[in-house]
Amino acid sequence: MSAQAVYVLWLRDMKWFLRAKGRLISTFVMPFLWLAILGMGLGAVIQMPGGGSFIDFLTPGIVGMAILFSATMSGVSVLWDKQFGFMKEILVAPVSRISIMIGKALGGATTSIIQGVMLLFVAALIGARMPGIAGFLIAFLFMIILALGFVSLGLAIASRIGDPVAFPIVINFLIMPLFFLSGAIFPISTAPGWLQTLAYINPVTYGVDGLRGAILGTSQFPLWLDFAVLGLFSLAMILLGAYLFKKMKA
């Protein structure tokens, strides 16, 4: 493991993130629209089962969504690096594959967490309920675990797919159902049985529930359970990502 290599790969991701203004805006606009339009539009007509406003309920879900999508999508940088040849420069260096994978994972996780946090502030601006310091820190912890898990999943898929154009299609196909079946936009407890079952086996459910518990103080499962399930899932993804990344052809 080379700390220098991990750091410089992370640094490069940060530079890209800050330089690509267009991408920055577009990854932010979609969740914002969800929050503003869905939250305010539907919020006017929807009565939440346990009381409270719909936008309060929706905020943790949309924060989770922003992280879920941007973390998984960040794997595409591997494919662009291959396409433009820079991957050769990385892979021929005297550093282990695992350092490269960790550097990439931390870079992708950081950018998606930044987006999650920014979204939380936007939600505050349009009137969603905000947590205290402790709640915020717990939410932050859930964001990190969620991001690391899905960045690793993205890297795992990227190391099996060669084509940077096909990648987002595959990811959307995979992530969309995970998002819709996670309780991000409707409460699971009142959903039909089959939907509940699907939600229970979906790791994103526990991420969203954990975020909701941290931000609103009410969650369906105890926070330790959310933490344990999501943590195990993310650990598994990190191991899978590291394994597949190591086997990736130069």
Partner 1 sequence: MKPAIETRDLTKEFNGLVAVDHVDLQIEKGELFGLLGPNGAGKTTLIHMLCTILPPTEGTAKVAGFDIHRTPDSVRKAIGIVFQDPSLDGRLTSRENLDFHGRVYGMDKAQREKRIADVLKLVDLEDRAKALVQTYSSGMRRRLEIARGLMHHPKIMFMDEPTLGLDPQTRRSIWDHIQMLNKQEKITILLTTHYMDEADYLCDRVGIIDHGKIISLGKPEKLKDELKGDIVSLEVAQPKKYVEIFQRAKYVKEVTVVKDQLHLTVTGGERTIPKLMEIVTRRGGKVRSVGLRSPTLEDVFIRYTGRGIREEEAGAKEQMRMMVRAHSR
For partner 1, the binding residues (CB under 8 A) are 2, 4-5, 7-8, 12, 15-16, 19-20, 84-86, 88-95, 250
Identify the DSSP state of 163: -
The nearer residue to partner 1, 82 or 212, going by C-beta atoms, is 82
Task: Name the nearest CA neighbour of 249 among 121, 169, 166, 161.
Answer: 161
Min dist. Cβ of residue 93 to partner 1 (A):
4
Helix pair 97-125, 133-158: axis angle to 10 deg: 140
The nearer residue to partner 1, 3 or 169, going by C-beta atoms, is 3
Are 52 and 127 spatial neighbours (Cβ–Cβ below 8 Å)?
Answer: no
CA angle at 137 for the pair 56 and 26, rounded to the nearest 5°: 60
The nearer residue to partner 1, 12 or 129, going by C-beta atoms, is 12
Min dist. Cβ of residue 140 to partner 1 (A):
28
The nearer residue to partner 1, 6 or 214, going by C-beta atoms, is 6
- Beta carbons within 8 Å of 179's beta carbon, 6+ residues apart: 65, 68, 69, 204
Min dist. Cβ of residue 7 to partner 1 (A):
7
Min dist. Cβ of residue 105 to partner 1 (A):
16
